[in-house]
């Protein structure tokens, strides 16, 4: 399976600021996704990161708040903009590889705390 890394692993930020999270995969993948896991909650899909085009956002998530880039088949970023304490969550990227295994693999996550 693909090896996925995320940077930073954790951060503590002040409200009103923005944080960009990076997701790097060691091989080319077909699909990349960003999920949010709020404290004590399950995972919620934020968006599908599309290579070379705008991300596809799920209901309740907008590009102005969560801009996403995917410049190539191995890298994506998620920015959490104008943060508030409600944005404190774990953010995870996930990938589907090129070999049609249908399995989605997850990165280690970025634990964000907003004060």
Partner 1 sequence: AQSVAQPEDQVNVAEGNPLTVKCTYSVSGNPYLFWYVQYPNRGLQFLLKYITGDNLVKGSYGFEAEFNKSQTSFHLKKPSALVSDSALYFCAVRDLNDYKLSFGAGTTVTVRA
Query: Rule CB under 8 A: which residues touch partner 1?
Result: 1, 31, 33, 41-45, 48, 58, 92, 94, 96, 102-109, 111
Nearest distance from residue 44's CB to partner 1, in Å? 8
Which CB, 32 or 80, lies closer to partner 1?
32
Which CB, 47 or 80, lies closer to partner 1?
47
User: CA 11 from chain center: how many Å?
Assistant: 14
* Separation CA 101–CA 18 (nearest Å): 35
Tokens of 43: 């995972």
Nearest distance from residue 87's CB to partner 1, in Å? 19
Which CB, 3 or 63, lies closer to partner 1?
3
Q: What is the C-alpha R_g of the chain?
A: 13
| Among the listed residues 11, 15, 6, the one whose alpha carbon sits nearest the alpha carbon of residue 35 | 6
């Amino acid at each position: 399976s693909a090896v996925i890394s995320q940077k930073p692993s954790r951060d503590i930020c002040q409200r009103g600021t923005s944080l960009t999270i990076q997701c790097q995969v060691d091989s080319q993948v077909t699909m990349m996704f960003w999920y949010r896991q709020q404290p004590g909650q399950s995972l919620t899909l934020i968006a599908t990161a599309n290579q070379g085009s705008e991300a596809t956002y799920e209901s309740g998530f907008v590009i102005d708040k969560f801009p996403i880039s995917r410049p190539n088949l191995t890298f994506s970023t998620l920015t959490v903009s104008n943060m508030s304490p409600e944005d404190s969550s774990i953010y995870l990227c996930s990938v589907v590889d090129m070999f049609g295994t249908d399995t989605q693999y997850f990165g280690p996550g970025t634990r964000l705390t907003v004060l």
